[in-house]
Amino acid sequence: MGSGIQHRRGNERIQRESQVPALLDAYEIAYTFSDALILGLTLHKGLAKHVVRDMGIHTPDFLVVDGDADLDGFRLPFPVFAKPVAGGSSMGISRASKVPHRQALLPICRALREKFRQPVLVESFLPGREFTVGIIGTGWAARAIGVLEILLRPDAEPDAYSFTNKRDYETLVRYRLADDVSAGQVADLALRVWRRLNCRDAGRVDIRLDESRRPSFLEVNPLAGLHPRHSDLVILCRMVGIEFEQLLQMIVESAERRRNPGARM
């Protein structure tokens, strides 16, 4: 289930990650990470899900809500999950994001649209394990460096890697490197998304299992945070033995390899 994507408000927020690479392209200045097209597409979670779904990759059924009328005839089974369509760092995700029944859906969509001034993504809630996959490289040179499972502690906000849980991860979240059959399937799906979207250099793909333990695409972050302590990609690298400075070197080397395919690193 989808909808036409409209931008009646908050358009500048949805475009924010594309502006600098677009300027760099205009002035022919080299840079790391993905280009303006991919950053704009992937920041809008609804558009990204449309493209990924058309690739034949499973993603939860969804609807982009940009006004009350978009909920007319809403047919997704409850519970559903609601979040800003272009939020980063779990912005706008809280215990209220898991919506248990229809009566609660309109109020949460209105509250999110008013607070964040952008449309809301409403998608089927997935009850299974949650993962983020760290990826280094571009195209067929891209590789998954690890699959990080996100486990919520008893005091955490339930059912979601929420803004609060991510902010207070040291007390509310436990991270685990996954290496079982599901982790292998998750890594394969993440690489398919990364390569087919032509994401570059480094980033993350978020995936969750559905009720049948099937991996489902949630979103891709081709401009992952690089805080030396708190960012998920950095945490994952630390757990697989990649130091922060080494991660930065790998990103730069990937970008250089794109510009000079025959260069030796």
- How open is the CA angle 231-242-185, to the nearest 5 degrees? 75
What residue has token string 């248990």? 100
For the chain, give every domain's residue range: 11-124, 130-259
Backbone angle region of 159, left / alpha / beta, with phi > 0 → left and psi within -120 to 50 → alpha: left
Q: Greater confidence, 63 or 260?
A: 63
pLDDT, tens digit, for every residue of 134-144?
999 999 999 99
The confidence band for 8, taking pLDDT boundaries of 50, 70 and 90, is very low
Q: Could you report the per-residue pLDDT of 53-92, keeping only the tens digit for each? A: 999 999 999 999 999 999 999 999 999 999 999 988 899 9
Q: What percent of the chain has pLDDT over 90?
A: 88
Give the residue-averaged pLDDT of 39-43. 94
Mean pLDDT of the chain: 93
Mean pLDDT of 153-178: 96
Q: What is the pLDDT of residue 244?
A: 98
- Tell whether the model's pLDDT for residue 3 goes beyond 60: no
- Nearby residues of 118 by Cβ (< 8 Å), 6 or more positions away: 9, 10, 13, 14, 84, 85, 86, 87
pLDDT in tens, 202-220: 999 999 999 999 999 999 9
* Per-residue tokens: 54: 């058309």
Residue with tokens 């990924």: 52
Assess whether pLDDT exceeds 90 at residue 263.
Answer: no
Mean pLDDT of 163-185: 97
Average pLDDT over residues 230-253: 97
Instruction: Taking the CA atoms of 34, 38, 44 and 50 in sequence, report the sign of the dihedral they define.
Output: negative
% of the chain surpassing 70 pLDDT: 93
Q: How confident is the model over 105-127, as a mean pLDDT?
A: 97
Cα–Cα distance between 136 and 152 in angstroms, integer? Answer: 26
Confidence of residue 12 (pLDDT cuts 50, 70, 90): low
Please tell me the predicted confidence (pLDDT) of residue 115.
95
- The domain 130-259 belongs to what CATH superfamily? ATP-grasp fold, B domain (3.30.470.20)
Q: pTM of the predicted model, to two decimals?
A: 0.92
Return the pLDDT at 22: 95
Has residue 264 got a pLDDT over 90?
no
pLDDT surpassing 70 at residue 26: yes
